[in-house]
A and B are shown apart, each in its own frame.
Chain A
Amino acid sequence: MVEASANRPMVQALSLTKRFGNLAALDSVSLDVAPGEVVCIIGPSGSGKSTLLRCINQLERIDGGAIWVDGELAGFRRTSDRLIELTDKEIARQRLASGMVFQRFNLFGHMTALQNVIEGPVTVLKQPRATATAEAERLLARVGLAEKRGAYPSELSGGQQQRVAIARALAMKPRLMLFDEPTSALDPELVGEVLAVMRDLAKSGMTMIVVTHELGFAREVADRVVFMDQGRLIEQGPPAQVLSAPEHPRTRDFIAAVLP
Protein backbone atom coordinates (compact mmCIF):
# COMPACT_ATOMS: atom_id res chain seq x y z
CA MET A 1 0.00 0.00 0.00
CA VAL A 2 2.92 2.35 0.71
CA GLU A 3 4.51 1.61 -2.65
CA ALA A 4 1.23 2.25 -4.42
CA SER A 5 1.21 5.84 -3.22
CA ALA A 6 2.73 8.44 -5.51
CA ASN A 7 4.11 10.28 -2.46
CA ARG A 8 7.65 9.61 -1.36
CA PRO A 9 7.90 8.06 2.11
CA MET A 10 7.91 10.43 5.09
CA VAL A 11 10.53 8.24 6.75
CA GLN A 12 12.84 5.76 5.12
CA ALA A 13 15.25 3.83 7.32
CA LEU A 14 17.70 1.56 5.56
CA SER A 15 19.74 -1.10 7.37
CA LEU A 16 20.00 0.96 10.57
CA THR A 17 22.59 -0.20 13.04
CA LYS A 18 23.18 1.27 16.49
CA ARG A 19 25.48 -0.18 19.12
CA PHE A 20 25.79 0.67 22.81
CA GLY A 21 29.15 -0.88 23.65
CA ASN A 22 28.83 -4.53 22.63
CA LEU A 23 25.04 -4.47 22.57
CA ALA A 24 23.43 -4.08 19.14
CA ALA A 25 20.45 -1.88 20.01
CA LEU A 26 19.47 -1.82 16.34
CA ASP A 27 20.56 -4.60 14.04
CA SER A 28 20.04 -3.75 10.38
CA VAL A 29 16.51 -2.36 10.73
CA SER A 30 14.72 -1.07 7.62
CA LEU A 31 11.37 0.71 7.79
CA ASP A 32 9.34 2.96 5.49
CA VAL A 33 6.55 5.20 6.74
CA ALA A 34 4.20 6.85 4.26
CA PRO A 35 2.83 10.39 4.69
CA GLY A 36 -0.29 10.32 6.85
CA GLU A 37 0.43 6.82 8.08
CA VAL A 38 0.21 5.88 11.77
CA VAL A 39 2.74 3.21 12.70
CA CYS A 40 2.81 1.68 16.17
CA ILE A 41 6.01 -0.03 17.25
CA ILE A 42 5.58 -2.69 19.93
CA GLY A 43 7.97 -5.10 21.56
CA PRO A 44 9.57 -6.02 24.89
CA SER A 45 11.74 -3.48 26.72
CA GLY A 46 15.24 -3.38 25.32
CA SER A 47 14.02 -4.42 21.89
CA GLY A 48 15.35 -1.21 20.28
CA LYS A 49 12.01 0.46 19.55
CA SER A 50 12.82 3.67 21.44
CA THR A 51 16.31 3.71 19.94
CA LEU A 52 14.80 3.52 16.45
CA LEU A 53 12.61 6.52 17.23
CA ARG A 54 15.53 8.47 18.69
CA CYS A 55 17.65 7.72 15.63
CA ILE A 56 14.95 9.15 13.36
CA ASN A 57 15.27 12.60 14.93
CA GLN A 58 18.99 12.18 15.61
CA LEU A 59 18.95 12.14 19.38
CA GLU A 60 21.15 9.08 18.83
CA ARG A 61 23.92 8.86 16.24
CA ILE A 62 23.61 5.84 14.02
CA ASP A 63 26.58 3.51 13.56
CA GLY A 64 25.49 2.18 10.18
CA GLY A 65 22.74 2.47 7.59
CA ALA A 66 20.91 5.62 6.54
CA ILE A 67 17.70 7.52 7.29
CA TRP A 68 15.76 9.90 5.07
CA VAL A 69 13.11 12.12 6.61
CA ASP A 70 10.75 13.63 4.04
CA GLY A 71 13.32 12.84 1.36
CA GLU A 72 16.25 14.49 3.17
CA LEU A 73 19.21 12.37 4.25
CA ALA A 74 19.54 12.70 8.03
CA GLY A 75 22.81 13.72 9.63
CA PHE A 76 24.98 13.76 6.51
CA ARG A 77 25.54 15.64 3.29
CA ARG A 78 26.22 13.42 0.33
CA THR A 79 28.94 14.28 -2.14
CA SER A 80 29.81 12.14 -5.15
CA ASP A 81 31.98 9.79 -3.16
CA ARG A 82 31.39 10.31 0.55
CA LEU A 83 29.03 11.28 3.36
CA ILE A 84 30.00 14.41 5.28
CA GLU A 85 28.64 14.76 8.80
CA LEU A 86 26.43 17.81 9.29
CA THR A 87 27.08 20.54 11.86
CA ASP A 88 25.15 20.98 15.11
CA LYS A 89 23.17 23.80 13.48
CA GLU A 90 22.25 21.80 10.37
CA ILE A 91 21.15 18.84 12.49
CA ALA A 92 19.03 21.21 14.61
CA ARG A 93 17.36 22.42 11.39
CA GLN A 94 16.70 18.84 10.25
CA ARG A 95 15.03 18.07 13.57
CA LEU A 96 12.36 20.64 12.72
CA ALA A 97 10.80 18.06 10.40
CA SER A 98 9.74 15.94 13.36
CA GLY A 99 8.11 16.60 16.70
CA MET A 100 8.90 14.36 19.63
CA VAL A 101 6.90 13.43 22.71
CA PHE A 102 8.82 11.77 25.54
CA GLN A 103 7.86 9.17 28.10
CA ARG A 104 8.77 11.56 30.94
CA PHE A 105 7.14 14.61 29.27
CA ASN A 106 10.29 16.75 29.68
CA LEU A 107 8.39 20.03 29.84
CA PHE A 108 10.70 22.96 30.58
CA GLY A 109 10.28 23.27 34.33
CA HIS A 110 10.94 27.01 34.58
CA MET A 111 8.27 27.91 32.04
CA THR A 112 4.49 27.93 32.15
CA ALA A 113 2.44 25.76 29.80
CA LEU A 114 2.09 28.65 27.36
CA GLN A 115 5.78 29.55 27.55
CA ASN A 116 6.66 25.91 26.87
CA VAL A 117 4.56 25.95 23.72
CA ILE A 118 5.85 29.29 22.33
CA GLU A 119 9.51 28.66 23.22
CA GLY A 120 10.32 26.84 19.97
CA PRO A 121 8.39 29.14 17.63
CA VAL A 122 9.87 32.29 19.22
CA THR A 123 13.46 31.17 19.92
CA VAL A 124 14.05 28.77 17.03
CA LEU A 125 11.63 29.85 14.29
CA LYS A 126 11.91 33.57 15.22
CA GLN A 127 8.15 34.07 15.05
CA PRO A 128 6.75 37.28 16.57
CA ARG A 129 5.63 36.58 20.13
CA ALA A 130 2.04 37.62 19.42
CA THR A 131 1.71 35.22 16.49
CA ALA A 132 3.24 32.37 18.49
CA THR A 133 1.01 33.09 21.47
CA ALA A 134 -2.17 33.06 19.37
CA GLU A 135 -1.16 29.74 17.82
CA ALA A 136 -0.17 28.32 21.22
CA GLU A 137 -3.54 29.24 22.68
CA ARG A 138 -5.24 27.46 19.80
CA LEU A 139 -3.07 24.36 20.38
CA LEU A 140 -3.65 24.36 24.14
CA ALA A 141 -7.39 24.55 23.45
CA ARG A 142 -7.04 21.65 21.03
CA VAL A 143 -5.49 19.45 23.75
CA GLY A 144 -8.15 20.66 26.19
CA LEU A 145 -5.89 22.82 28.38
CA ALA A 146 -6.80 26.38 27.41
CA GLU A 147 -7.38 27.33 31.04
CA LYS A 148 -3.97 25.94 32.15
CA ARG A 149 -1.87 28.32 30.06
CA GLY A 150 -0.35 30.00 33.14
CA ALA A 151 0.36 26.79 35.07
CA TYR A 152 3.90 25.53 35.64
CA PRO A 153 4.58 21.84 34.88
CA SER A 154 4.85 21.08 38.60
CA GLU A 155 1.25 22.26 38.97
CA LEU A 156 -0.07 19.91 36.26
CA SER A 157 -0.93 16.21 36.40
CA GLY A 158 1.08 13.79 34.28
CA GLY A 159 -1.67 13.58 31.68
CA GLN A 160 -1.91 17.36 31.48
CA GLN A 161 1.88 17.68 31.18
CA GLN A 162 1.92 15.18 28.35
CA ARG A 163 -0.83 17.04 26.51
CA VAL A 164 1.14 20.30 26.85
CA ALA A 165 4.17 18.40 25.51
CA ILE A 166 2.13 17.36 22.47
CA ALA A 167 1.04 20.99 21.93
CA ARG A 168 4.68 22.08 22.27
CA ALA A 169 5.74 19.63 19.56
CA LEU A 170 2.84 20.62 17.27
CA ALA A 171 3.68 24.33 17.61
CA MET A 172 6.75 23.69 15.45
CA LYS A 173 4.47 22.53 12.60
CA PRO A 174 6.26 19.20 12.20
CA ARG A 175 5.58 16.94 9.23
CA LEU A 176 6.01 13.89 11.43
CA MET A 177 5.28 13.16 15.11
CA LEU A 178 7.32 10.70 17.14
CA PHE A 179 5.87 9.35 20.40
CA ASP A 180 8.22 7.52 22.75
CA GLU A 181 5.99 5.52 25.14
CA PRO A 182 3.83 8.60 25.78
CA THR A 183 1.58 6.94 28.35
CA SER A 184 4.02 4.65 30.16
CA ALA A 185 4.75 7.11 32.98
CA LEU A 186 1.09 7.95 33.58
CA ASP A 187 -1.29 6.78 36.26
CA PRO A 188 -3.85 4.44 34.64
CA GLU A 189 -6.74 6.91 34.92
CA LEU A 190 -4.75 9.57 33.00
CA VAL A 191 -3.81 7.38 30.02
CA GLY A 192 -7.14 7.92 28.27
CA GLU A 193 -6.91 11.71 27.96
CA VAL A 194 -3.51 11.49 26.25
CA LEU A 195 -4.60 8.71 23.90
CA ALA A 196 -7.68 10.78 22.98
CA VAL A 197 -5.46 13.67 21.87
CA MET A 198 -3.28 11.29 19.86
CA ARG A 199 -6.36 9.68 18.26
CA ASP A 200 -7.56 13.13 17.25
CA LEU A 201 -4.14 13.93 15.80
CA ALA A 202 -4.10 10.71 13.79
CA LYS A 203 -7.54 11.55 12.37
CA SER A 204 -6.24 14.94 11.22
CA GLY A 205 -3.83 13.11 8.91
CA MET A 206 -0.56 13.59 10.83
CA THR A 207 2.16 11.06 10.12
CA MET A 208 2.87 9.34 13.44
CA ILE A 209 5.31 6.77 14.73
CA VAL A 210 4.26 5.61 18.18
CA VAL A 211 6.30 3.37 20.47
CA THR A 212 3.70 2.01 22.84
CA HIS A 213 2.54 -0.75 25.13
CA GLU A 214 -1.11 0.22 24.56
CA LEU A 215 -2.12 -2.62 22.24
CA GLY A 216 -5.74 -1.42 22.31
CA PHE A 217 -4.67 1.95 20.95
CA ALA A 218 -2.51 0.27 18.31
CA ARG A 219 -5.38 -1.93 17.21
CA GLU A 220 -7.77 0.98 16.93
CA VAL A 221 -5.61 3.78 15.50
CA ALA A 222 -2.58 2.26 13.76
CA ASP A 223 -2.44 1.67 10.04
CA ARG A 224 0.43 -0.67 10.65
CA VAL A 225 1.93 -2.41 13.66
CA VAL A 226 5.64 -3.23 13.81
CA PHE A 227 6.97 -5.80 16.27
CA MET A 228 10.61 -5.53 17.32
CA ASP A 229 12.74 -7.82 19.46
CA GLN A 230 16.47 -7.75 20.28
CA GLY A 231 17.21 -4.89 17.91
CA ARG A 232 15.51 -6.50 14.94
CA LEU A 233 12.29 -5.85 13.11
CA ILE A 234 10.53 -9.20 13.45
CA GLU A 235 7.14 -8.71 11.91
CA GLN A 236 4.92 -5.95 10.56
CA GLY A 237 1.49 -5.58 9.05
CA PRO A 238 -2.05 -4.32 9.67
CA PRO A 239 -2.99 -4.39 13.37
CA ALA A 240 -5.57 -7.11 12.87
CA GLN A 241 -2.89 -9.38 11.48
CA VAL A 242 0.04 -8.63 13.81
CA LEU A 243 -2.00 -8.37 17.00
CA SER A 244 -4.59 -11.09 16.36
CA ALA A 245 -2.89 -13.56 14.07
CA PRO A 246 0.87 -13.04 14.40
CA GLU A 247 3.01 -15.22 12.16
CA HIS A 248 6.21 -15.19 14.17
CA PRO A 249 6.38 -17.21 17.41
CA ARG A 250 8.16 -14.38 19.24
CA THR A 251 5.36 -11.96 18.37
CA ARG A 252 2.86 -14.55 19.56
CA ASP A 253 4.70 -15.00 22.89
CA PHE A 254 4.90 -11.23 23.43
CA ILE A 255 1.23 -10.60 22.72
CA ALA A 256 0.19 -13.54 24.86
CA ALA A 257 2.29 -12.14 27.73
CA VAL A 258 0.98 -8.57 27.40
CA LEU A 259 -2.71 -9.25 26.85
CA PRO A 260 -4.52 -10.47 29.96
Chain B
Amino acid sequence: MTSSQMPGTALDPTILSLPRVGRLHLGRWVSATLVLLALAFVVKAFAEGDIAWKVVGQFFTAPAILGGLANTVIMTVCAMALGIALGVIFAIMAMSPNAVMRGSAAFYIWFFRGTPLILQLLIWFNLALVFPTIGIPGLFSARTIDLIGPFMATLLGLGINQGAYTAEVVRSGILSVDHGQVEAAKAIGMTRLTTLRRIVLPQSMRVIIPPVGNEVVSMVKLTSIASVIQFSEILRNAQTIYYANARVIELLIVAAGWYLIVVSILSLGQVVLERHFAKGRAGAGARNG
Protein backbone atom coordinates (compact mmCIF):
# COMPACT_ATOMS: atom_id res chain seq x y z
CA MET B 1 0.00 0.00 0.00
CA THR B 2 1.36 3.47 -0.82
CA SER B 3 1.41 5.94 2.00
CA SER B 4 -0.08 8.90 0.11
CA GLN B 5 -3.44 7.24 -0.50
CA MET B 6 -6.16 6.33 1.90
CA PRO B 7 -7.76 3.10 0.91
CA GLY B 8 -11.45 3.14 0.07
CA THR B 9 -11.94 6.95 0.20
CA ALA B 10 -12.12 9.74 -2.31
CA LEU B 11 -10.42 12.30 -0.02
CA ASP B 12 -7.97 14.72 -1.60
CA PRO B 13 -4.57 14.02 0.00
CA THR B 14 -3.08 17.35 -1.18
CA ILE B 15 -4.92 19.04 1.73
CA LEU B 16 -2.16 17.77 4.01
CA SER B 17 0.46 19.94 2.30
CA LEU B 18 -1.46 23.26 2.43
CA PRO B 19 -0.08 26.00 4.75
CA ARG B 20 -2.24 26.93 7.76
CA VAL B 21 -3.02 30.62 8.44
CA GLY B 22 -4.31 31.84 11.82
CA ARG B 23 -7.40 33.99 12.32
CA LEU B 24 -7.02 37.79 12.21
CA HIS B 25 -8.25 38.50 15.80
CA LEU B 26 -9.33 42.00 14.86
CA GLY B 27 -10.98 42.61 18.26
CA ARG B 28 -7.75 41.95 20.12
CA TRP B 29 -5.82 44.41 17.99
CA VAL B 30 -8.41 47.14 18.47
CA SER B 31 -8.74 46.71 22.22
CA ALA B 32 -4.97 46.52 22.72
CA THR B 33 -4.49 49.71 20.71
CA LEU B 34 -7.13 51.55 22.75
CA VAL B 35 -5.57 50.47 26.05
CA LEU B 36 -2.07 51.46 24.92
CA LEU B 37 -3.37 54.86 23.81
CA ALA B 38 -5.00 55.43 27.19
CA LEU B 39 -1.82 54.38 28.94
CA ALA B 40 0.30 56.73 26.82
CA PHE B 41 -2.10 59.55 27.68
CA VAL B 42 -1.72 58.91 31.44
CA VAL B 43 2.08 58.65 31.19
CA LYS B 44 2.22 61.86 29.17
CA ALA B 45 0.00 63.67 31.68
CA PHE B 46 2.23 62.70 34.58
CA ALA B 47 5.41 63.48 32.68
CA GLU B 48 4.19 66.97 31.76
CA GLY B 49 2.37 67.58 35.04
CA ASP B 50 3.84 69.67 37.80
CA ILE B 51 5.70 66.82 39.47
CA ALA B 52 9.29 67.29 40.51
CA TRP B 53 10.55 63.75 39.86
CA LYS B 54 13.91 64.77 41.27
CA VAL B 55 12.19 65.39 44.61
CA VAL B 56 10.63 61.92 44.40
CA GLY B 57 14.04 60.36 43.88
CA GLN B 58 15.57 62.48 46.59
CA PHE B 59 13.02 61.52 49.26
CA PHE B 60 12.63 57.88 48.19
CA THR B 61 15.47 56.86 50.51
CA ALA B 62 15.22 59.71 53.02
CA PRO B 63 15.77 58.50 56.61
CA ALA B 64 12.28 59.56 57.73
CA ILE B 65 10.71 57.60 54.86
CA LEU B 66 12.83 54.50 55.46
CA GLY B 67 12.10 54.72 59.19
CA GLY B 68 8.38 54.92 58.42
CA LEU B 69 8.74 52.03 56.01
CA ALA B 70 10.39 49.95 58.74
CA ASN B 71 7.56 50.80 61.13
CA THR B 72 4.98 49.87 58.50
CA VAL B 73 6.63 46.51 57.87
CA ILE B 74 7.16 45.78 61.58
CA MET B 75 3.55 46.68 62.34
CA THR B 76 2.28 44.52 59.47
CA VAL B 77 4.25 41.52 60.74
CA CYS B 78 3.29 42.01 64.41
CA ALA B 79 -0.39 42.80 63.80
CA MET B 80 -0.74 39.90 61.35
CA ALA B 81 0.99 37.51 63.76
CA LEU B 82 -1.38 38.60 66.52
CA GLY B 83 -4.32 38.37 64.11
CA ILE B 84 -3.44 34.85 62.96
CA ALA B 85 -2.81 33.64 66.52
CA LEU B 86 -6.16 35.06 67.67
CA GLY B 87 -7.84 33.78 64.51
CA VAL B 88 -6.69 30.21 65.14
CA ILE B 89 -7.65 30.37 68.82
CA PHE B 90 -11.11 31.79 68.13
CA ALA B 91 -11.74 29.44 65.20
CA ILE B 92 -11.01 26.48 67.51
CA MET B 93 -13.22 28.04 70.19
CA ALA B 94 -16.00 28.58 67.65
CA MET B 95 -15.96 24.84 66.90
CA SER B 96 -15.64 23.72 70.52
CA PRO B 97 -18.23 21.40 72.07
CA ASN B 98 -18.30 23.89 74.98
CA ALA B 99 -21.18 26.39 74.52
CA VAL B 100 -19.41 29.13 76.52
CA MET B 101 -16.38 28.86 74.21
CA ARG B 102 -18.59 29.00 71.14
CA GLY B 103 -20.53 31.97 72.53
CA SER B 104 -17.37 33.93 73.38
CA ALA B 105 -15.95 33.35 69.93
CA ALA B 106 -19.20 34.43 68.30
CA PHE B 107 -19.26 37.60 70.41
CA TYR B 108 -15.64 38.45 69.57
CA ILE B 109 -16.22 38.00 65.85
CA TRP B 110 -19.48 39.95 66.00
CA PHE B 111 -18.02 42.89 67.90
CA PHE B 112 -14.76 43.39 66.04
CA ARG B 113 -16.22 42.80 62.59
CA GLY B 114 -19.16 45.01 63.43
CA THR B 115 -17.35 48.26 64.31
CA PRO B 116 -15.07 50.39 62.12
CA LEU B 117 -11.36 49.76 62.51
CA ILE B 118 -10.58 53.45 62.94
CA LEU B 119 -13.05 53.59 65.85
CA GLN B 120 -11.33 50.60 67.47
CA LEU B 121 -7.93 52.27 67.09
CA LEU B 122 -9.26 55.43 68.76
CA ILE B 123 -10.69 53.38 71.65
CA TRP B 124 -7.37 51.62 72.27
CA PHE B 125 -5.47 54.88 72.02
CA ASN B 126 -7.79 56.59 74.48
CA LEU B 127 -8.13 53.68 76.88
CA ALA B 128 -6.33 55.68 79.56
CA LEU B 129 -9.45 57.86 79.85
CA VAL B 130 -11.41 54.86 81.13
CA PHE B 131 -8.73 52.85 82.92
CA PRO B 132 -5.95 55.13 84.23
CA THR B 133 -3.98 52.09 85.40
CA ILE B 134 -4.08 48.49 84.26
CA GLY B 135 -2.54 45.34 85.65
CA ILE B 136 -3.23 42.16 87.52
CA PRO B 137 -4.19 42.94 91.15
CA GLY B 138 -1.35 42.00 93.49
CA LEU B 139 1.06 41.18 90.66
CA PHE B 140 1.76 44.35 88.75
CA SER B 141 0.17 47.61 87.83
CA ALA B 142 1.13 50.27 85.33
CA ARG B 143 -0.18 53.54 84.01
CA THR B 144 -2.20 52.87 80.88
CA ILE B 145 -0.74 55.92 79.18
CA ASP B 146 2.77 54.44 79.50
CA LEU B 147 1.70 51.00 78.36
CA ILE B 148 -0.51 51.86 75.40
CA GLY B 149 1.27 54.36 73.20
CA PRO B 150 0.74 54.73 69.45
CA PHE B 151 2.58 51.45 68.67
CA MET B 152 0.71 49.34 71.21
CA ALA B 153 -2.67 50.90 70.38
CA THR B 154 -2.11 50.25 66.67
CA LEU B 155 -0.94 46.69 67.29
CA LEU B 156 -3.95 45.90 69.49
CA GLY B 157 -6.39 47.62 67.15
CA LEU B 158 -5.14 46.05 63.93
CA GLY B 159 -4.28 42.62 65.40
CA ILE B 160 -7.50 42.07 67.32
CA ASN B 161 -9.61 43.31 64.42
CA GLN B 162 -7.69 41.06 62.03
CA GLY B 163 -8.21 38.09 64.35
CA ALA B 164 -11.98 38.37 63.93
CA TYR B 165 -11.65 38.04 60.15
CA THR B 166 -8.94 35.40 60.25
CA ALA B 167 -11.03 33.30 62.66
CA GLU B 168 -13.64 32.88 59.94
CA VAL B 169 -10.97 32.01 57.36
CA VAL B 170 -9.38 29.44 59.66
CA ARG B 171 -12.76 27.97 60.52
CA SER B 172 -13.62 27.42 56.87
CA GLY B 173 -10.15 25.90 56.38
CA ILE B 174 -10.73 23.45 59.23
CA LEU B 175 -14.15 22.56 57.82
CA SER B 176 -12.53 21.79 54.46
CA VAL B 177 -10.59 18.86 55.94
CA ASP B 178 -12.37 15.51 55.60
CA HIS B 179 -13.69 14.16 58.91
CA GLY B 180 -12.08 10.80 58.13
CA GLN B 181 -8.71 12.45 58.81
CA VAL B 182 -9.82 13.27 62.34
CA GLU B 183 -11.06 9.72 62.93
CA ALA B 184 -7.81 8.24 61.63
CA ALA B 185 -5.85 10.52 63.97
CA LYS B 186 -8.02 9.51 66.93
CA ALA B 187 -7.57 5.86 66.01
CA ILE B 188 -3.79 6.15 66.42
CA GLY B 189 -4.30 7.68 69.86
CA MET B 190 -4.09 11.41 69.18
CA THR B 191 -5.92 13.85 71.44
CA ARG B 192 -8.17 16.55 70.02
CA LEU B 193 -5.50 19.26 70.14
CA THR B 194 -2.73 17.06 68.73
CA THR B 195 -5.07 16.11 65.89
CA LEU B 196 -5.67 19.79 65.14
CA ARG B 197 -1.98 20.66 65.24
CA ARG B 198 -0.56 17.68 63.34
CA ILE B 199 -3.34 16.65 60.97
CA VAL B 200 -6.11 19.21 60.51
CA LEU B 201 -4.36 22.60 60.50
CA PRO B 202 -1.56 21.58 58.07
CA GLN B 203 -4.15 20.32 55.61
CA SER B 204 -6.40 23.36 56.06
CA MET B 205 -3.47 25.65 55.09
CA ARG B 206 -4.18 25.06 51.43
CA VAL B 207 -7.57 26.72 51.90
CA ILE B 208 -6.42 29.28 54.49
CA ILE B 209 -3.34 30.75 52.79
CA PRO B 210 -4.86 32.48 49.73
CA PRO B 211 -7.36 34.58 51.75
CA VAL B 212 -4.80 35.24 54.52
CA GLY B 213 -2.27 36.33 51.89
CA ASN B 214 -4.92 38.71 50.66
CA GLU B 215 -5.36 40.00 54.21
CA VAL B 216 -1.62 40.52 54.67
CA VAL B 217 -1.68 42.73 51.61
CA SER B 218 -4.62 44.65 53.08
CA MET B 219 -2.79 44.93 56.39
CA VAL B 220 0.23 46.61 54.79
CA LYS B 221 -2.08 49.37 53.63
CA LEU B 222 -4.34 49.38 56.71
CA THR B 223 -1.37 50.37 58.86
CA SER B 224 -1.67 53.77 57.19
CA ILE B 225 -4.85 54.59 59.10
CA ALA B 226 -2.78 54.40 62.29
CA SER B 227 -1.51 57.84 61.26
CA VAL B 228 -4.64 59.18 63.00
CA ILE B 229 -3.25 58.05 66.35
CA GLN B 230 0.24 59.35 65.61
CA PHE B 231 1.90 56.05 64.78
CA SER B 232 4.86 57.09 62.63
CA GLU B 233 4.40 54.76 59.69
CA ILE B 234 5.40 55.65 56.15
CA LEU B 235 2.32 57.65 55.16
CA ARG B 236 2.38 59.75 58.34
CA ASN B 237 6.09 60.49 57.85
CA ALA B 238 5.47 61.43 54.23
CA GLN B 239 2.74 63.81 55.41
CA THR B 240 5.01 65.32 58.04
CA ILE B 241 7.56 66.04 55.31
CA TYR B 242 5.10 67.60 52.88
CA TYR B 243 3.61 69.80 55.60
CA ALA B 244 7.12 71.31 55.75
CA ASN B 245 8.13 71.40 52.05
CA ALA B 246 4.74 71.45 50.30
CA ARG B 247 5.76 68.68 47.86
CA VAL B 248 2.48 66.83 48.45
CA ILE B 249 2.19 64.66 45.33
CA GLU B 250 5.92 63.87 45.26
CA LEU B 251 5.85 62.50 48.80
CA LEU B 252 2.63 60.59 48.13
CA ILE B 253 4.29 59.01 45.09
CA VAL B 254 7.23 58.00 47.29
CA ALA B 255 4.87 56.33 49.76
CA ALA B 256 2.86 54.67 46.97
CA GLY B 257 6.08 53.30 45.46
CA TRP B 258 7.13 51.73 48.73
CA TYR B 259 3.69 50.21 49.35
CA LEU B 260 3.80 48.63 45.89
CA ILE B 261 7.31 47.25 46.47
CA VAL B 262 6.36 45.71 49.82
CA VAL B 263 3.14 44.22 48.47
CA SER B 264 4.95 42.75 45.43
CA ILE B 265 7.50 41.01 47.65
CA LEU B 266 4.72 39.64 49.87
CA SER B 267 2.83 38.32 46.84
CA LEU B 268 5.92 36.36 45.79
CA GLY B 269 6.12 34.93 49.31
CA GLN B 270 2.50 33.82 49.05
CA VAL B 271 3.22 31.86 45.87
CA VAL B 272 6.07 30.02 47.62
CA LEU B 273 3.88 29.22 50.65
CA GLU B 274 1.03 27.96 48.48
CA ARG B 275 3.38 25.62 46.64
CA HIS B 276 4.69 24.30 49.95
CA PHE B 277 1.27 23.52 51.38
CA ALA B 278 -0.01 22.03 48.12
CA LYS B 279 2.27 19.02 48.64
CA GLY B 280 0.53 15.69 48.59
CA ARG B 281 -2.16 16.89 46.23
CA ALA B 282 -1.93 15.47 42.74
CA GLY B 283 -1.56 18.13 40.07
CA ALA B 284 -1.59 20.88 42.68
CA GLY B 285 0.95 23.66 42.83
CA ALA B 286 1.00 27.12 41.40
CA ARG B 287 -2.47 26.44 40.01
CA ASN B 288 -4.05 26.91 43.42
CA GLY B 289 -5.22 30.34 44.49
Contact = CB atoms under 8 A, between A and B. Distances in A.
Nearest to A111: B280
A57 B280 contact: no
B143 interface: no
B279 A108 contact: no
Nearest to B191: A92
A54 B113 CA distance: 41
A109 B181 contact: yes
Interface string B171-192: 0000000101101111111111
Given A110-B202, A119-B198, A92 B186 contact: yes
B181 A120 contact: no
16 contacts: A59-B183, A88-B191, A95-B186, A96-B189, A99-B188, A100-B184, A102-B180, A106-B183, A108-B181, A110-B202, A110-B277, A120-B190, A152-B280, A152-B281, A154-B281, A165-B184
Given A109-B181, A109-B281, A59 B187 contact: yes
A155 interface: yes
A99 B184 CA distance: 10
B194 interface: yes
Given A96-B189, A169-B187, A106 B198 contact: no
Contacts, number: 79
Contacts of B72: none
Nearest to B206: A110
A102 B185 CA distance: 12
A107 interface: yes
A97 to B, nearest CB: 9
A153 interface: yes
B187 A95 contact: yes
Contacts of A102: 180, 183-184, 187
B170 to A, nearest CB: 16
Most buried by B among A96, A109, A110: A110
Contacts of A109: 181, 203, 280-281
A99 B181 CA distance: 15
Interface string B50-77: 0000000000000000000000000000
A96 B186 CA distance: 9
B187 A57 contact: yes
Q: Which 8 residue pairs spanning A and B have beta carbons closest together? A: A120-B188, A106-B184, A100-B187, A106-B180, A154-B282, A152-B280, A124-B189, A96-B189
Contact of B184 (A107, A110, A152): A107
Contacts of A172: 188-189
B188 to A, nearest CB: 4
A34 to B, nearest CB: 22
B199 interface: yes
Interface in A161-203: 165, 168-169, 172
Most buried by B among A102, A109, A172: A109
A89 interface: yes
Contacts of B192: 88
B194 A154 contact: no
Nearest to A101: B187
A248 interface: no
Given A106-B183, A123-B198, A89 B191 contact: yes
A99 B190 contact: no
B187 A108 contact: no
Nearest to A120: B188
Nearest to A116: B184
B190 A124 contact: yes
Contact of B190 (A59, A123, A168): A123
B276 to A, nearest CB: 10
Given A59-B186, A108-B199, 13 more contacts: A57-B187, A89-B191, A92-B190, A93-B189, A95-B189, A100-B184, A102-B184, A106-B180, A109-B203, A110-B277, A119-B188, A123-B194, A168-B184
